Amino acid sequence: MRGLLIRPIPVHGESRQGYLLRLSDQNALGSPQRIKTEWLAALAPRATLRGPIAGLGALNAPDLVGPSARYWNTRRPRYCPKCLEEAPYWRSAWGLVFYVACHQHKVALVDDCRDCGHPLRWVRRCLLECTCGADLRDRIPQAALAQAIAASHALAAAWRDGEALAAPGTGGVDIEGLLYRTWLLGSYRSQTAERAQKLAGLHAMPQAVRIVEAAAEVMSGGTTGYFGFLDQVAARYGDPTSTRLASRFGAFYKELFGTKAAAALADLREGFEAYVRERWPGQIAERNRRLSQEVRTGHAWIPVTRAAKQLHWRSVRLRDAIARGAVRGQLHRRPSGRIAGVVHREDLERLKAESLTWIDLTGACRLLRIGKKAAHALVHSGRLPAVSGPNVDGRAVWQFRRADVERLRLQADGREGTQDLLDMAPQAPRSRAHVGGI
């Protein structure tokens, strides 16, 4: 080929940008910027070369089959000195933005020169030298943290030197899903910006390491650690006054249950559902298709409107019961002024069961064999507690638990009969008396 004396064979797992630098170096071009586009078309098979090309003008090209552009570090080359000493070529995995440690040698990658201290550049004369002439292989690497090594090991297993992309459907973890998972957890955990998804500065090792370690920290604490992370997300990125999941967790909720990286986020979604079952005090709409049917129907907290329909009550009646502490629940005033709330499922089921046995004033009089005037006296004296009525929730119709009425009847039977029951009920006072119940 005219213009190129040496045409090196690409190494399995080599990066495209690294290959161009090696090509320029072996042909003494002085810089990969001097490579002509027509030379590339006639080069040896390059099926295993991966990664985008940047900073080389007309040679620039994305990696069309690899991860999205945001997952590639194209500004500051990183490398493992031990790997480079063993075999002088640039690994494509080093270009992945969250690959920050060599999973083979357990050392942190480096992206600067030990002599001049400047960041490495892709535009330089030699593959194995900095622009200042220092040999990159002489750099003494530092031991990497366990979280960084584990993250890089997982990326390398999914990347497989680009084979997973060269041969789709060969199994294994999706590399983009794994990168997205790190991006999602690391960005929200580190809280580097107002909008957590907008990460910047990942070309610099300290920032990339910070995100990797933050992502690992989320999962290292087990269920408790993940629940604590979700609490932090809700406090910082959501609306703390909202009872809707989408509003409380902001963009994180949409990212977690979006269409991307379903396999890589499966355990995170399951953990979120567990969080909702155990901790979420707000409501869950039946039409919410992001959560499983089990969570939607088995959630501990039921919206007041839905619970009131099951009880055949008006919502205001149930809200009043929550406000008085008669049932467990929470009330929230929305910006519109409307009051919304939730009631605990256990208390709702108790009310539903009890309401089947409630009787009105006529039924109570029949069981006690007294008139309505005497029954009113028992109510106002506190001997016959009402669960609904004018002095309880403002309803015109009095209602009582059958068990309370029967207990009062048994007390009367243990005495002399109905007359003693009437004697137990003094005349109702003129002032409003406290009447317990729901």
Please write the tens of the pLDDT for every residue from 110-122.
999 999 999 999 9
Residue 420 pLDDT:
55
The whole-model pTM stands at 0.73
Asked if residue 43 has pLDDT above 60, the reply is: no
Asked if residue 123 has pLDDT above 60, the reply is: yes
Question: pLDDT category, 218, cuts 50, 70, 90?
Answer: very high
- Lowest mean pLDDT across 4-18, 296-310, 383-397, 416-430: 416-430
Radius of gyration of the chain (CA): 36
Mean pLDDT of the chain: 85
Asked if residue 200 has pLDDT above 80, the reply is: yes
Average pLDDT over residues 192-201: 72
Average pLDDT over residues 212-228: 92
Question: pLDDT category, 14, cuts 50, 70, 90?
Answer: very high
Return the domain boundaries, the chain. 16-160, 171-296, 300-354, 358-423
Question: pLDDT category, 6, cuts 50, 70, 90?
Answer: confident
Asked if residue 368 has pLDDT above 60, the reply is: yes
What separation in angstroms does the CA of 218 have from each of 33, 141, 234? 43, 27, 15
Question: pLDDT category, 258, cuts 50, 70, 90?
Answer: confident
Average pLDDT over residues 273-285: 81
For the chain, percent of residues with pLDDT exceeding 70: 88
Higher pLDDT pick, 383 / 296: 383
Are 251 and 187 spatial neighbours (Cβ–Cβ below 8 Å)? Answer: no
